[in-house]
Amino acid sequence: MLLEARNLHVGYGDAPAIWDVSLDVDAGEIVSVIGPNGAGKTTLINAMAGLLRCRQGTLSFDGQDMTRVRAHDYCGHGIALVPEGRRLFVKMSVEENLELGCYLPAARSHRSQSLERVFTLFPILRDKRRQPAGELSGGQQQMVAIGRALMARPRIVLFDEPSLGLAPTIVDDMFDIIARVRAEGAAVLLVEQNVLKALEVADRAYVLEQGRIVSSGLPDALLEQPHIREAYLGV
Amino acid sequence: MPSATLLGQALISGVLAGGMYGLLGLGLSLSWGLLRLVNLSHFALAFLAAYLTYELGTNYHVAPWWSAAMVVPAMFAIGLLQHWLFDKFRVNELASLLITFSFAIILEVAIQLYWTADYRRFETHYSTLSIKAGPFYIPVLELVLCTVAGVLAWGTWLWLRRTYVGKALRAAAEDADIAAAYGVDHKKLAYLLSGLGAAYAGVAGTFIALIATLAPAQIWTWLGVVFAVVIIGRLGNPLGALFAGFLIGASESLAMAVFSPAWAPVVSFSVLIAILLWNPEWA
């Protein structure tokens, strides 16, 4: 397994937000975590990105224990985050945002090659490269956030609600991009409220409710479950 | 209304005096803008450097450029030490204001204990040199100060714009967590920046020793005006601090020439208030 979480407990202050979560992502796989608002999806992904400490349980990446690794060393292991709400460096230019993605020396040595790859994927960003990232539209900002992650030459990309706040037509593009990211060799862990889309693109999926994994399996099998159909699809 | 020559001379002197505001503002603006630490002791550090330059020059006959070669690195080290305390006690923006205020007082008292409250003047044979350009006089020391301030501000600006470390510092100032997720070790960079800010105070101190008369209470003289300067120049923007320094220096000097010297202190904050009224998001 590339990413392996076992019995993770993560929380803010005294209150744990996720309990006893076990989850795997293999190389080249797209794994979705679906669940309602407040289920702990962002907590889960931030823990995988090293931004939150795990209180209990183990997190390993490529066989290496990550629980004691410092936040700024996660990226060097090959883990890149596309955070919820994009969180671009809005005062900096599009190109500078992308360059931050290849801040570490290993990625930096491939700067122009990676930049070219991002501009091929998102041609509009080439024209806007000198503009402050904060001036871009929501969809374009999401492209920058994804591009920033790709600049790090990651082995896994963690997507946190990439469709949130985007126009429906752009949402479809985003899921195409996620499939492209995997096609180019990185694994994907995706947390999403857009259940149908998230299951459509995934190889496997987990259902997170109130901080616990309540179900997991192949997307088609999950879609058959009465609970999923009722709670998430309203049928 | 004063004559054109007098106004021109006031403008030149003002811009040159503004170079000192800019130089002092440089370090303050960096730590405030990029680390969210307001360092009131910046001025006390500059005066400590000035007293050291005076001491080395007067008692040991060390030329100021040689003493700067010792004092500036020493200030860098003090900056690191200061940041270690900020780091250890997880100091935030407001707390930094209080803590560095107390640092400043401690330094003021220490200076007073060693050098007493007497006025000290570092006499050099070039302190009164000036170039005559037409009807105007340009003091050489102030011109050198402005050149040094210009080189430092420009260099720092380029460093922040062009290098990965500079970009990482700006990114971390916007969103430290996400910068860390991309490998930025903000803690390490913050030490570097704090050291740099203190080193700039050391450079300013060398010039203070050469230009001003030293007394312990003088550390508070420039506080208000330099605060206005770094906000007008936008926090974290070294070139902005320098140009705001020139602007305020020139405005003060013109106000003194046209109205009366008593009006000078009003100028910096009037400009600041005008800018904030025009654009509340300015800083």
Task: Assign B283 a pLDDT band (cuts: 50, 70, 90).
Answer: confident
Task: Report percent pLDDT > 90 for chain B.
Answer: 91
Measure in Å the smallest separation between the Cα of B243 and chain A Cα atoms.
Answer: 21
Task: Assign A34 a pLDDT band (cuts: 50, 70, 90).
Answer: very high
Q: Which residue has the tokens 């991309």?
A: B182
- Give the burial class of A173: count Cβ atoms within 10 A of its Cβ; 0-12 exposed, 13-18 middle, 19 or more buried: middle
Interface of A with B in 44-73 (CB under 8 A): 49-51, 71-73
Residues in chain B: 283
Chain B CB contacts of A74 below 8 Å = 181
pLDDT of residue B127: 85
- Set out the domains of chain A in order of their start, with CATH numbers: 1-78+156-167+187-235 (3.40.50.300)
pLDDT of residue A70: 94
pLDDT of residue A12: 80
Q: Which two tokens stand for residue A15?
A: 């209150």
The answer to whether A92 contacts B185, with C-beta atoms less than 8 Å apart, is: no
The answer to whether B178 contacts A101, with C-beta atoms less than 8 Å apart, is: no
Residues of B with CB under 8 A from a CB of A: 164, 167-168, 170-171, 174-175, 177-186
Beta-bridge partners for B214: B120
Q: Which residue has the tokens 């290849």?
A: A102
pLDDT of residue A234: 80
- Nearest CA-CA partner of B68 in B50, B81, B42: B50
Chain A CB contacts of B179 below 8 Å = 89, 100
Q: Which residue has the tokens 């000097």?
A: B253
Task: Assign A162 a pLDDT band (cuts: 50, 70, 90).
Answer: very high
The answer to whether B181 contacts A74, with C-beta atoms less than 8 Å apart, is: yes
Task: Assign A5 a pLDDT band (cuts: 50, 70, 90).
Answer: very high
Beta-bridge partners for A60: A4, A65
Tally the C-alpha atoms within 13 A of residue A148's C-alpha that lie toward its C-beta.
34
Nearest to B170 among A80, A92, A108 (CB): A92
Angle at CA of residue A15, ends A11 and A20, nearest 5°: 55
> Model confidence over B199-242: pLDDT tens digits?
999 999 999 999 999 999 999 999 999 999 999 999 999 999 99
* Interior/surface letters A152-166, b for 16+ CB within 10 angstroms, e for the rest: bbbbbbbbbbbbeeb
Task: Assign B264 a pLDDT band (cuts: 50, 70, 90).
Answer: confident
Measure in Å the smallest separation between the Cα of A35 and chain B Cα atoms.
Answer: 24
Where does chain A have alpha helices with state H? 41-48, 74-77, 94-101, 105-108, 111-121, 123-127, 138-151, 168-183, 195-201, 219-224, 226-228
Amino acid letter, A168: P
pLDDT of residue B241: 97
pLDDT of residue B206: 97
Supply the mean pLDDT for chain B: 95
Q: Which two tokens stand for residue A212?
A: 């616990």
CB A155, CB A2: distance < 8 Å: yes
pLDDT value at A181 more than 80: yes
ipTM attached to this prediction: 0.93
Three-state SS letters, B7-43:
HHHHHHHHHHHHHHHHHHHHHHHHHHHHHCCCCCCHH
pLDDT of residue A235: 72
Task: Report percent pLDDT > 90 for chain A.
Answer: 84
pLDDT of residue A29: 96
Nearest to B183 among A51, A72, A90 (CB): A72
Q: At what angle do helices B223-232 and B238-258 cross, to 10 degrees?
A: 120
> Model confidence over A82-139: pLDDT tens digits?
999 999 999 999 999 999 999 999 999 999 999 999 999 999 999 999 999 999 999 9
Chain B CB contacts of A89 below 8 Å = 170-171, 174-175, 178-179
The answer to whether A75 contacts B181, with C-beta atoms less than 8 Å apart, is: yes
Mean pLDDT of B255-275: 90
pLDDT value at B145 more than 80: yes
Q: Which helix (H) or strand (E) holds B196?
A: helix B186-211
**Cα separation of A222 and A35, whole Å?**
12
Beta-bridge partners for B120: B214
Measured CA distances, B55 to B42, B47, B123 (Å): 20, 12, 11
**Cα separation of B169 and B165, whole Å?**
6
Nearest to B184 among A49, A51, A72 (CB): A72
The answer to whether B181 contacts A90, with C-beta atoms less than 8 Å apart, is: no
pTM: 0.93
**Cα separation of B239 and B242, whole Å?**
5
Task: Assign A211 a pLDDT band (cuts: 50, 70, 90).
Answer: very high
A41 phi and psi angles, rounded to 5 deg: -65, -45
Chain B CB contacts of A103 below 8 Å = 164, 167-168, 182-184
Measured CA distances, A95 to A81, A92, A118, B213 (Å): 18, 8, 11, 48
A234 phi and psi angles, rounded to 5 deg: 65, 30
**Cα separation of A191 and A82, whole Å?**
11
Task: Assign A189 a pLDDT band (cuts: 50, 70, 90).
Answer: very high
Largest Cα separation within chain B, whole Å, is: 61
Measured CA distances, A208 to A33, A51, A213 (Å): 7, 20, 4
The answer to whether A80 contacts B181, with C-beta atoms less than 8 Å apart, is: yes
Task: Assign A13 a pLDDT band (cuts: 50, 70, 90).
Answer: confident
Q: Which two tokens stand for residue B130?
A: 């000036």
3-state secondary structure of A52: coil
**Cα separation of A208 and B109, whole Å?**
61
Interface of A with B in 84-103 (CB under 8 A): 87, 89-92, 96-97, 99-101, 103
> Model confidence over B269-281: pLDDT tens digits?
999 999 999 998 8
pLDDT value at B1 more than 80: no
CB B200, CB B26: distance < 8 Å: yes
Task: Assign A11 a pLDDT band (cuts: 50, 70, 90).
Answer: confident
Strand order across the A204-209 sheet: A79-82, A156-160, A187-192, A30-34, A204-209, A212-217
**Interchain contact A108–B (C-beta under 8 A):** yes
pLDDT value at A63 more than 90: yes
Task: Assign B247 a pLDDT band (cuts: 50, 70, 90).
Answer: very high
